[in-house]
Amino acid sequence: MKKIITPAVILGILFGLCVAFFVLENIRKSQSSPGASRSDDHITINSFDSCVLANYPVQESYPRRCVLPDGTAFTEELENVEYDIVLETPRPNESVTSPLSIKGEAVGPWFFEANFSAELVDADGKVLGTAILSANGEWMTVDLVPFEGELSYENGSGEAELILKSANPSGLAENQKIFSIPVRLN
């Protein structure tokens, strides 16, 4: 009796090899993840750059922040970077008081009917105040348009985040642009 290798047997062997490869690859990745303890991995995380190098998540904010599992965050230090929004006041990590004056420039698509919004959120995620920021010029352009507004809030101290949100009349998440900076409340 001859033993014949059928195409089904060959496919079964190939499938088994693929499954084994993916399982071993996932085990290898989990052992090299930032949370894994490895004796040869002694990275001291004390800055934005070292946090990024250790593969911790980076928040897309301005400036960007890298966050450790325990909640410790490191903020990227920036020089001159071009964005579709430029905030003149307040500056990152500036101490602010109510009413908070907000001024800057944003490209026309940030606006709808010459406005977009801002909110001030404390370290616990509680919204302390909101404002409408208005264009000071022709907003139906792709160029930078000056804007300003004032945000009042009653209570708060410590770290907070000023979040600017583009106008999004479509309501689609992919059309929403967000720009945020850390501030300190007095």
62 plus 145 within the same structural domain: no
pLDDT at 34: 44
Q: What is the pLDDT of residue 19?
A: 74
Residues 6 or more apart in contact with residue 163 via CB below 8 angstroms: 118, 119, 120, 121, 178, 179, 180
Same domain, residue pair 101 and 144: yes
Residues 89 and 180 in one domain: yes
Residues 166, 97 share a domain = yes
Residues 112 and 61 in one domain: no
Does any domain span residue 1? Answer: no
Output b/e per residue, 67-95; b: 16+ Cβ within 10 A.
Answer: eeeeeeebbbeeeeeeeebbbeebebeee
pTM recorded for the entire structure? 0.57
Same domain? 93 vs 154: yes
Whether residue 119 is found in the same domain as residue 163: yes
How high is the pLDDT of residue 185?
93
* 18 and 55 both lie in a single domain: no
126 & 159 share domain: yes
The pLDDT value recorded for residue 62 is 63
Same domain, residue pair 15 and 28: yes
- Domain span including residue 114: 85-185
- What DSSP string runs through the chain? ------HHHHHHHHHHHHHHHHHHHHHHHHHTSTTS--TT------SHHHHHHTT--EE-SSS-EEE-TTS-EEEPP-SS---SEEEEESPTT-EE-SSEEEEEEEEGGG-BTTEEEEEEEETTS-EEEEEEEEESS--SSSSEEEEEEEE--SS--EEEEEEEE---TT--GGG--EEEEEEEE-
- State the 10-residue block means of pLDDT for the chain, 186 residues long: 71 76 65 41 82 86 81 79 81 93 94 96 92 95 94 88 94 90 92
Residue 4 belongs to some domain of the structure: no
Same domain as 104, residue 20: no
What is the tally of structural domains in the chain? 3
